């Protein structure tokens, strides 16, 4: 009896936000979590940091698959960068409520960048495509009471920069420039589909 055919796309992430974005775009995919250590080594530039972690995640899952599996593995990682290149503070996921509070206070009243790195690894060819998208986020001044309330809600957990624009933190954001809303959520869907098509997987509403 033949086994059930698995989806051609593998998402190397446990993020419910990335899963939801792919679902909403109509993609069929399997989820395999990479368990890559997201600790940044040294002082990488924001784009380098996001793309490097995305590649590590995709490659780790690709390497764990059977050698005869034909699929495309998608990895992604989002970082928040405060300040210009060469003098940026990178904000990943807060470790605790105190760090989430400090991140929100540092982002209050700023125009910062949210960068999502994406990587596609083709199996079994081993071809690797890496890219990223950047969105400039203008955040209004957040009052101390708002910071305390937001941190108490727990919404900051597992969110780069300590906030979720798709949830209640949208009230703190005045403007987005450059990349899209989905990029700030955690996955630039149009860019991902473009990369997958380039790698040979026909996917998305404008796939041939």
**60-109 tens-digit pLDDT:** 999 999 988 999 999 999 999 998 776 788 998 899 999 999 999 999 99
How many Cβ atoms from other residues are within 10 Å of residue 65's Cβ?
17
Domain holding 114: CATH number?
A: 3.90.950.10
In this structure, is residue 206 part of a structural domain?
no
Domain that holds residue 28: 9-198
Residue-wise burial string across 174-200, b where 16 or more C-beta atoms lie within 10 A, e elsewhere: eebeebeebbbbbbbbbbbbbbbeebe
Ramachandran area for residue 35 (φ above 0: left; ψ -120 to 50: alpha; else beta): left
**101-145 tens-digit pLDDT:** 999 999 999 999 999 999 999 999 999 999 999 999 999 999 999
DSSP calls for 127-150: -EEEEEEEEEEEEPPPPHHHHHHH
In this structure, is residue 207 part of a structural domain?
no
In this structure, is residue 50 part of a structural domain?
yes
Is 145 among the residues known to form the active site? no
Domain count for the chain, please give it: 1
Q: How far out from the chain centre does Cα 19 lie?
A: 11
pLDDT of residue 206: 45
| 123 within 8 A of 71, measured Cβ to Cβ | yes
Question: Which pTM value belongs to this model?
Answer: 0.90
In this structure, is residue 21 part of a structural domain?
yes
Which residue is catalytic, options 77, 85, 145, 158?
77
Q: How far apart, in whole angstroms, are the C-alpha atoms of residue 17 and residue 186?
A: 7
Q: How far apart, in whole angstroms, are the C-alpha atoms of residue 207 and residue 88?
A: 37
Mapped onto helix, strand or coil, the DSSP state of residue 79 is strand
């Amino acid at each position: 009896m033949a086994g059930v055919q698995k989806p051609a796309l593998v998402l190397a992430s446990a993020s419910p936000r990335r899963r939801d974005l792919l679902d909403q775009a109509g993609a069929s995919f399997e989820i395999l979590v990479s368990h890559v250590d997201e600790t940044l080594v040294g002082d990488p530039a924001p784009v380098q940091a996001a793309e490097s972690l995305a590649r590590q995640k995709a490659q780790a899952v690709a390497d764990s698959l059977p050698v005869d599996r034909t699929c495309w593995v998608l990895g992604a990682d989002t970082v928040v960068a405060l300040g210009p290149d060469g003098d940026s503070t990178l904000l990943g996921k807060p470790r605790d409520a105190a760090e989430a509070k400090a991140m929100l206070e540092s982002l209050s009243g700023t125009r910062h960048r949210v960068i999502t790195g994406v990587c596609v690894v083709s199996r079994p060819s081993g071809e690797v495509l890496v890219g990223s998208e950047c969105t400039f986020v203008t955040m209004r001044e957040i009052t101390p009471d708002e910071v305390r309330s937001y941190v108490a809600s727990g919404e900051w957990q597992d969110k780069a920069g300590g906030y979720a624009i798709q949830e209640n933190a949208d009230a703190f954001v005045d403007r987005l420039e450059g990349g899209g809303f989905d990029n700030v959520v955690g996955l630039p869907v149009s860019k991902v589909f473009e990369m997958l098509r380039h790698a040979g997987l026909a996917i998305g509403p404008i796939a041939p």
